[in-house]
Amino acid sequence: MKKRLSALALLAATGLVIYSAGGDGAPGAERVGYFKSQRNDRVIAYAAPAPLNDAEARKVLARAPATAGAATMAVIYHPGALAPGDKLTAAPNLAAAARLIGEAPFDGWSHRLRINPAGVSTYD
């Protein structure tokens, strides 16, 4: 019984490490800003520790939460770029949050996902 519990604990710990490291093969990217409106529209900022190619960036952006009927915009900031952090989280509304990541000094993102309320995705 003790060996079984030890094996289960080891398996759980291994799973947690794999999940934390992006176990789906996606590189790590930390969420550094998150705005959510009362209608569930979202603007999300991620920061990558190293430059990402398109395939890696798409894996990160695929993890962005989205709600049917609401808009989502998620961006990845490349290393060295200034990300909005708490300014994004504290934005007063969706328009202000979207404007924040589109204007200097927070316009240094390298990849963007947009999902409109109809569910149509655009990646650039």
Tell me the pLDDT tens digit for each residue of 12-38: 433 333 333 344 445 689 999 999 999
Average pLDDT over residues 1-11: 44
Closest to 76 measured CA to CA, from 23, 31, 35, 19: 31
- Kind of pairing between the strands at 30-36 and 42-47: antiparallel
pTM of the complete model: 0.78
The structure tokens 């999902």 sit at 115
In tens, the pLDDT along 67-82 reads: 999 999 999 999 999 9
pLDDT (tens digit, 9 = 90+) per residue, 85-102? 999 999 999 999 999 999
pLDDT at 28: 80
